Amino acid sequence: MGRPRLSLVVPLLCLVQHLALGQFAGYNYGPDATIRIRRQISQPRREVVRENSDVRVRLEIRQLEQDSDVWTLYILGLSMMQYADMSLDTSWFGISGIHGMPHKSWGGVGPTPGNENTGYCTHFSILFPTWHRPYLVLYEQILQGLIQFIASLWPDGERQRFQEAALRFRIPYWDWAADPPSGQSVLPQSVAGSPFVDVDGPNGRQRIANPLFSFSFNPLSATGFTQPPWNQWPTTLRAPTNRGPNAQSDNALVASDLDRNRVSQMQRLYNLFSYYNDYIYLANEEWTPQLSNGSLESLESLHDTIHLLTGGQNARMGHMSYPPYAAFDPIFWLHHCMVDRIFALWQTLHPETWITPHRALQSTHTTSRGEIQDSQTALTPFYSSDNGTFWTSDGVRDHTRFGYTYPELLSESASRTEERQAAVRRAVNRLYGRQSPAVLFLSSTNLASQRARSGRLGGDATSLEMASLSRTTNERIFHGSNRYHEWTANIRVEKQACDGPFSILIFLGCPPDDPLDWMSSPSHIGTMGVWTAGKQDHGENGQMAMDGLYVSGTVPLTAALVQKIAAGELASLEPNEVEFYLKMKLEKRVLGPGGRVWDADKVKGLKIQIVSSLVKAPSREEELPVRASTIVHFDL
């Protein structure tokens, strides 16, 4: 059987989406299976996140799609989960609601007094990476149960094949930083191409609503959403066309924004792997005066930016753009699986660093702001046993105990820590170093070595791409050595500066007058998103009321400067050349909720410093660049 096929491409969505969402529902398994299905998806029970010794690989979503049997089960499992009664804890609505809205207790885990109007998610916290790990596993294990059940519905001749496929299933991740396949967007077609999908299930081929495209609230009146536009939208939306009930997703715009920011996000991720060696800096985006100029990036800040790019910006912010509603969008789970993958790879490189006690910066359903959190803090509401105990960060530190791993950690030769670390560094250089002078140097070194050995041009696609820069450009970057200057815009700002999610955009050259054209402008080189809900969503004492607290992140500048060197507009990456150039060319803009343009000089706590570091490029693929101390040049 072939894998499910998308029926439309992104540009046609505006014509068919509303019709499709009303016309297509879940898969019809036939009358003989109806009673069994109702029993399977309607059992109220306490869910325990259990260990699993059968370790399988979580694949990138495009790779998973190549396994047609597993992909079919994945689509059917998602669909069944989404059409389960929303009142059930194990339904799509129930699991997604753990994160934020509708602020209901889950699994019998009640709130701390005063925190009733919050979700359980730990953002702006040292527990950000670890809390989301059992959350993903809970989602994965519920989905696995549905998929194994669905596999049992195939007739005798095919049942065993699909049951074996069900054992292979693990949730996929979406790599939003790596180069997509040639001619494709960062945003996968399977997620954004069509609101419906053709699937070959146990009861034949049927056209159903695409469960990766959106989730339908059925009924919307049962959600408990009281604020517009959330109580107007019957489905999850990305870059919605309006705030009314007939709004549609503009996935073409989302894809364009993601594609135009990919180089920046790739650089941010490469820098995170290369330069951030301490868990406290990796884990969350909090800025304090004690942070060094080289420690303003974090996994959480990078995660925030992807949320805003995926949900929509300007006046077109959908569910992924707001923390209380984000988890209802199917792409949330793909995104957070990517975040967990980054965390797992980073842990492999830095197994010795871990959580140190730190105060909670915001309240959750079970934690109050100011409480001390550490590696033994309960990751509620995720039970580790039937007796009501919860997982802790120490308990989830090793992801393989839950029966999954990632491709880069699967090498048969990587039996020792050093070998696993070398495999991860190779993958990081290959996937995320393509815009860095570090890999430019590494590629040119490898290319020269291959030429010396073979007498002809060699190397992989990365080497060929990097080698396309002229020898003159290489000399201007490295000056005959293996060192170069890396340039970054360090950003810090108050989390609630704009009373809702907002974006800080950096331009190398004048931006267009119309904010709608900012993201697509050739002068736009990067965005830092601040992902937060406004007080209107939670009230003055709610989860996201964090006045006076700061976040930080970065926008890398080096790749854009290298292109200017290649174009002959800049002589080198040396400070005496670049500082004056950036003072003349750099611009900043701030775009807040509702498409409001903020005066960047009046945004609370906003400070952008342009910094540089001397970096030693790696000499082998198993190495990452090494950065010296950071120098502040000027404030933008």
User: Where are the chain's structural domains?
Assistant: 5-41+59-171+187-237+355-396
Distance between CA 624 and CA 275 in Å, rounded?
Answer: 9
Q: What is the pLDDT of residue 410?
A: 85
Compute the average pLDDT of residues 233-237: 97
Under the banding of pLDDT at 50, 70 and 90, the label for residue 538 is very low
The SS3 of residue 167 is helix
- Which of the pair, 288 or 630, is modelled with greater confidence? 630
Cis amide linkage into residue 407, ω under 30° from 0: no
Q: Give yes or no for residue 453 having a pLDDT over 90.
A: no
What φ, ψ does residue 265 adopt, rounded to 5°? -70, -35
Residues 6+ apart with CB under 8 A from 409: 344, 345, 348, 420, 423, 424
Based on its alpha-carbon atoms, the radius of gyration of the chain, rounded to whole angstroms, reads: 24
Residue 489 pairs in a beta bridge with 555, 610
Average pLDDT over residues 231-236: 96
CATH topology of domain 5-41+59-171+187-237+355-396: di-copper center containing domain from catechol oxidase (1.10.1280)
What rounded mean pLDDT belongs to the chain? 88
What pLDDT is stored for residue 38 in this prediction? Answer: 74
d(CA 162, CA 194): 25
Per the CB < 8 A criterion, the answer to whether 442 and 621 are in contact is: yes
The answer to whether the CB of 393 falls within 8 A of the CB of 355 is yes
Q: Is the dihedral of CA 436, 439, 444, 447 positive or negative?
A: negative
Q: What is the pTM of this model?
A: 0.92
| Token pair 């998602």 in the structure block, residue | 78
Whether pLDDT at 293 is above 80: no
pLDDT at 33: 74
User: Is residue 166 predicted with pLDDT exceeding 90?
Assistant: yes
Residue 37: pLDDT band with limits 50, 70, 90: confident
Answer whether residue 502 shows pLDDT above 70: yes
Among the ranges given (164-178, 346-360, 444-458), the one the predictor scored with the smallest mean pLDDT:
444-458
CA separation for the pair 280, 290 (Å, rounded):
12
User: What is the structure's pLDDT at 24?
Assistant: 77
Would you mind telling me the total number of residues written for the chain in this entry?
A: 636
Q: Which of 105-114, 194-203, 239-248, 285-294 has the lowest mean pLDDT?
A: 285-294
The answer, yes or no, to whether residue 447 has pLDDT greater than 60, is no
Contact 84, 91 (CB under 8 A): yes
Average confidence (pLDDT) over 65-77: 98
Mean pLDDT, range 422-445, rounded to an integer: 89
Mean pLDDT over 517-534 rounds to 92
| Band of pLDDT at residue 459, cut at 50, 70 and 90 | very low
The answer to whether 118 touches 543, Cβ cutoff 8 Å, is yes
Residue 363 pLDDT > 80: yes
384 secondary structure, DSSP code: S
| Structural contact between residues 162 and 149, judged by C-beta atoms closer than 8 angstroms | no
Cα distance between residue 504 and residue 212, in whole Å: 29
CB 61 within 8 A of CB 174: yes
Which residue has better confidence, 555 or 15?
Answer: 555
The secondary structure of 550-609 as a DSSP string is EEEEEEE-HHHHHHHHHTTS---SSHHHHHHHHHHHEEEEEE-GGGPEE-GGGSTT-EEE
CA–CA dist 14, 143 (Å, integer): 30
Q: Which long-range contacts (CB under 8 A, 24 or more apart) does 107-112 make?
A: 107/46, 107/47, 107/381, 107/383, 108/46, 109/365, 109/366, 109/380, 109/381, 110/366, 111/365, 111/366, 112/363, 112/365, 112/366, 112/367, 112/368
The tokens describing 285, both together, are: 């985006």
pLDDT at 138 over 70: yes
Which is more confidently placed, 547 or 309?
309
89 to 95, 96, 347, 566, 592: CA distances (angstroms): 6, 9, 31, 56, 34
Question: Can you give the pLDDT at residue 43?
Answer: 64
| Cβ count near 12 (within 10 Å) | 13
- Whether the per-residue pLDDT at 267 is higher than 50: the answer is yes
Residue 558 CB coordination number (10 Å) = 24
Q: What span, in angstroms and rounded, lies between the C-alpha atoms of 87 and 102?
A: 11
Closest CA relative to residue 185, chosen from 264, 238, 265, 259: 259
8-22, 240-254, 518-532, 562-576: segment of lowest average pLDDT: 8-22
**Predicted confidence band of residue 219 (pLDDT cuts 50, 70, 90):** very high
> Minimum mean pLDDT among 5-9, 213-217, 353-357, 424-428: which range?
5-9
Q: Are 102 and 328 in contact (CB under 8 A)?
A: no
Query: Which amino acid belongs to residue 36?
Result: R
**pLDDT of 277 above 80:** yes
pLDDT bracket for residue 489 (50, 70, 90): very high
Helix axes 68-82, 31-41, angle to 10 degrees: 70
Mean pLDDT of 593-597: 88
